Amino acid sequence: MNTNFNLFAKIASRSFLAWISIVIPGIILSIIGLIMAIYLLGNHPGYAGARAGGMGALLALFVLFTVAFWSSLLLVFSIAGFVLFPSMASGYTLKKTIFLVWENKLGDFFIGKISSYLDKVLLRIAPLEGASDATLKKQSLRELKLEVKKDGDTNRLQKRLLNFLLKKIRLEDIDWHAPREKIKSEILARCKAYVGEKLLPSRLWIRLAMILPVILMILAFIYER
């Protein structure tokens, strides 16, 4: 148990560093881009209207795109970056954490947890055997999430990973009217397949998202200063 705790602490710290390494540069780029865009757009007449609010602001923003396309695009992307980069960082971090869990031989911990949840959930939904597959699937997922939530032996990171895993595996074509053991073995097999096939997630889209504002800054500075 102590070994698992130490490994999860190590994984959590590495995952947090990965999140920070994406969010901080992304937010810095967004701030720089926002300041630069406002400075460049301040020289255009439409900018005053864009600050007015309402329909006038929308029309002024449209005019700005026609007379200062690169600066306007930089402005929009920089504002979006305050949401985009944390979101991309969270998605990447969850995948990286799954990879680290499997790399550190902790996959059996999650498979064991999901197995124990399924034992309880499938027993509870047994009276609904006459319901449709869609109803059984919806009820099962709700019950599984409830089991994760009320599990006092897992920390917040482990619960996030369990919910992520349950969300990612395909349950649409499960035969929910099959015997409980067959349903359970099929779901566990899919969990193992999903985690076992995951490689270290790529940062390609994150790198592209960070390169784009730099390109927009250069284009806006060249053409609209």
DSSP string over 8-21: HHHHHHHHHHHHHH
Both tokens of residue 27? 């937010």
pLDDT at residue 97, as a whole number = 83
Are the CB atoms for 36 and 23 separated by under 8 Å?
Answer: no
What is each CA distance from 154 to 1, 8, 33, 157, in whole angstroms? 12, 11, 41, 8
pLDDT at residue 200, as a whole number = 65
Span 119-153, pLDDT tens digits: 888 888 877 777 787 787 788 888 888 888 888 88
- What are the residues whose beta carbons fall under 8 Å from the beta carbon of 59, sequence distance 6 or more? 49
Span 75-102, pLDDT tens digits: 889 999 999 999 999 989 888 888 887 7
pLDDT reading at 28 higher than 90: yes
Span 154-172, pLDDT tens digits: 888 888 888 888 887 777 7
The rounded radius of gyration (Å) of the Cα atoms in the chain is: 24
pLDDT reading at 29 higher than 70: yes
CA–CA dist 126, 137 (Å, integer): 12
Least Cα distance to 119 among 135, 152, 137, 143 occurs for 143
Phi/psi class of residue 177: alpha, beta or left (left: φ > 0; alpha: ψ in -120 to 50)? alpha
pLDDT reading at 21 higher than 90: yes
Mean pLDDT, residues 104-116 taken together: 80
pTM: 0.71
